[in-house]
A and B are shown apart, each in its own frame.
Chain A
Amino acid sequence: MFNNLTLGRSAQHKADLPVGVLFMVALAIAAACLFLTMALIDFGPAEQPLVTLVASHLEQSGVENPVTAVLLNFRSYDTLLEVAVLLIVALAVMPANSEQSKVRFISVLVPTERSFVLEAFLRWLLPAIVVTSGYLLWTGAALPGGAFQAGALLAGAGILLLLAGHHSFNFNASAARLLLVVGLAVFLLVGAAVILSSGIALAYPQAWAGILILVIEVAATLTIAAILVLLFCALQVEAPRANYEGLIKEERP
């Protein structure tokens, strides 16, 4: 990804700190770490009133997995802001180009070099990844899993597709823009809509909590996957080249 980037040219001109200063910095950090360790040992095993608090309210949350309950119900503001942070970063790194908004989200390329093994492998792998991602999303209600894990897995599928060289993504397409915002939009809509029933933002009514959390998580999964793939695309300095193809070619007569 960063092969072609001669990173930190300034770093080559600008020498590292002198050894004396480095030594002082190391000493100060070592002292700080020692102090932190002492504090940690002195602190002892922490009391955890939140464990019982979460456990006693788990029934109201609409899900059985306490971590998901904390993420999407008890402390859903955190997660809402997290999705917002992701969107802000996506906007910051996105190569905004309104002229490209008419180009389709996924366009099929004709690769100059083909790898049949990779193609066949991806044909098996990509559906499996999508299904696994859906499973992770669904199982997040009761077991470890959820929107972030599912989104990350889906993003992996997207990046694999990109690296295979047959497809390119255009995040200025309206479909892509929709994907980038749908997570935050649905989260905000649900959060605002529940004011009608409970009077408090993001406080889901108990009977609806499970389904509302699932709706938010589905939208968040799509957005997280789209944003992660966007980050990968945007930070690509040049299009990936399949070097292994070149190697194979040289052996041919």
Chain B
Amino acid sequence: MTQAMLYAVFGIVLFGVGLFGALAIAHVMKKLLAINICGVGVFMVFIANASSGVAADYVPHAMVLTGIVVAVAGTAMALSLVVRINTLEQQEEDA
């Protein structure tokens, strides 16, 4: 088992851990964190696979770089939804 393969396998493990969290945890904030862990797992598999040849493949590198920024944007979007849900629930409880 090469080093790259090890990284890829751990990427899959991270993906599994994140997926379990996203499905099993009811707490929205933790669910969001779990989805992020899931995404990191995917990036890791992608990057590890890119380095399994002689030279590292640049295209997956560029794509993961793009993916990280999109993941940040998605997380921010989800966070704003979480905040909104929380505000509405508080209003409901106060009423």
- A interface residues, Cβ below 8 angstroms from B: 2, 5-11, 14-17, 22, 25-26, 29-30, 32-33, 36-37, 40-41, 45-48, 50-51, 54-55, 66-67, 69-71, 74-75, 78-79, 82, 85-86, 89, 92-93, 148, 224, 227-228, 231, 234-235, 237
Which residues from B are CB-within-8-Å of A224?
Answer: 69
Q: Report the nearest A residue to B58, measured CB to CB.
A: A66
Chain A, interface SS category? helix
Q: Give B20-55 as 1s and 0s: 1 = Cβ < 8 Å from A's Cβ atoms.
A: 100111111110000000000000010001101111
Q: Report whether A26 and B20 are in contact in the complex, using a CB–CB cutoff of 8 Å.
A: yes
Interface size on B, residues (CB 8 A): 51
Q: Which residue of B lies closest to A45 (CB)?
A: B52
Rounded to whole angstroms, the CA-CA distance of A2 and B82 in the bound complex is 11
Q: With the chains together, A98 CA to B73 CA distance in Å?
A: 24
Interchain CB contact under 8 A, B61 and A37? no
Q: State the majority secondary structure of interface residues on B.
A: helix
Binding site for A on B (CB under 8 A): 2, 5, 8-9, 12-13, 15-16, 19-20, 23-30, 45, 49-50, 52-59, 61-63, 65-66, 68-70, 72-74, 76-77, 79-80, 82-83, 85-86, 89-90, 93
Is A7 in contact with B27, judged by CB distance below 8 angstroms? yes
Which residue of A15, A29, A32, A85 is within 8 Å of B26 (Cβ)?
A15
